[in-house]
Amino acid sequence: MIAQETSALRVLIAPDCFGDTLSAVQAAEAIAEGWRRSRPGDQLRLAPQSDGGPGFVDVLASRFGGLRQSRVSGPLQEEVDAAWVFDEAHATAYIECAAACGLALLGGPPTVESALAAHTTGVGQLVDAAVAAGARRIVVGLGGSGSTDGGRGLIDALGGLAAARDRLAGLELIVASDVEHPLLGPMGAARVFGPQKGADPATVELLEERLTEWARCLDGFAGSAVSEQSGAGAAGGLGAALLAVGGRRESGAAIIAEHTGLADDIAAAGLIITGEGRFDDQSLHGKVVSALADGARAAGIPVLVLAGQVVLGRDVLDVTGITAAYAIADYAGSVQRAIDDAAAQLTGLAAKTAAELRE
């Protein structure tokens, strides 16, 4: 618990998205609403975050605008309106792969059929739109993909490997991801993430075969084993294709932190509240929560985590420097209610947590 505090606090509210239930922006607003109910005198700074997955563009647009829409191919047959951000002052485009090939765009739960058919064509079309708009730097956030095509759709949309390299010549291409998996093998895109996208064991092996053939093309074109690089397996192997045509990988959470001035926000805060859908071991490895905890620990600022579910014990929190973690599922009484009524339950949990600071 945090020591008794009755005076006004500067509170930094900086959550990630809560899976498919709340965007980072929605989560920050829900936490702020609840916090104000119990501590109306506190100064709140809302700074939603992302690690490159769903909500990446939403977070950036909430800070400096520049939101655009492009009609592109979705992961299957239907076209979708995909949002992206263009920062004209810095000639930088921010693209979120989930906006064009995300699981949420499949039209229902993922199946074996969708696992085989889903593609990244729309992401390539977004990259092409960014180039046409005059971007000199393109940041592609990876995460939440419903595809395991290794980025073949993106490359085809840009006219093939050589044409894609020429189209992007002279541009800075950033692969924003905190996923460290290679393209192939037991820790690769098909075997680790394929089942999450509807693939059964036989389909996983078929996807692995496809990616193995594609990896030979990518590695041969790039002149190096890009398929083995850290992050090549991100977003169903989209990372490998982007690396092959000249991209370089950077931490998605770090990019958001830099471009939203997170370090300054942390320095000015007396308390930090963050959160995500599930607070578990992965949260401590390159994710938003761990990045905030690291920055806060150095400054001696307490950190509270509000998450859909919390599976880490007190011993782990002590090591990370996180003061406490609270689960919406516990507050709501069930995981299902926490999902179905996410915003209201998160607001209630935030109000309860704020009230306890006075006890």
Contact call for residues 342 and 18 (beta carbons, < 8 A): yes
Torsion of CA 226, 174, 137, 292, to 10 degrees: -170
Give the CA distances from residue 239 to residues 52, 56, 123, 172, 354, in Å, rounded to whole numbers and listed in that order: 12, 16, 12, 15, 41
| φ, ψ at 97 (rounded to 5°) | -60, -30
Determine the 3-state secondary structure of 100 from DSSP.
helix
Task: Tell me the C-alpha distance between 301 and 172, whole Å.
Answer: 36
Contact call for residues 49 and 15 (beta carbons, < 8 A): yes
Residue 251: predicted pLDDT: 87
The model's pTM is 0.85
User: pLDDT tens across 165-188, in order?
Assistant: 999 999 999 999 988 899 999 999
203, containing H or E segment:
helix 201-222
Label residues 253-286 b or e (16+ Cβ within 10 Å = b). Answer: bbbbbebbebeebbeebebbbbbbbebeeebbeb
**Extents of the domains making up the chain:** 10-49+261-356, 56-253
Residue 106: predicted pLDDT: 95
Cβ atoms within 10 Å of 207's Cβ, excluding its own: 25
345, containing H or E segment:
helix 342-356
In whole angstroms, how large is the CA radius of gyration of the chain?
A: 21
Contact call for residues 231 and 243 (beta carbons, < 8 A): yes
Task: Tell me the C-alpha distance between 211 and 233, whole Å.
Answer: 10
Query: Looking at the domain 10-49+261-356, which fold is it?
Result: Rossmann fold (3.40.50)
Determine the 3-state secondary structure of 81 from DSSP.
strand
Give the CA distances from residue 210 to residues 198, 287, 308, 323, in Å, rounded to whole numbers and listed in that order: 16, 30, 36, 46
Contact call for residues 9 and 38 (beta carbons, < 8 A): no
Give the CATH H-level superfamily of domain 56-253. Glycerate kinase, domain 2 (3.90.1510.10)
User: pLDDT tens across 295-311, in order?
Assistant: 888 888 999 999 999 88
Task: Tell me the C-alpha distance between 108 and 271, whole Å.
Answer: 40
In the structure encoding, which two tokens stand for residue 339, read together?
A: 């999902």
Contact call for residues 329 and 308 (beta carbons, < 8 A): yes
Q: Which residues of the chain have pLDDT under 70?
A: 1-6, 284-286, 315-316, 318, 358-359
Residue 6: predicted pLDDT: 55
Residue 51: predicted pLDDT: 81
Residue 296: predicted pLDDT: 85
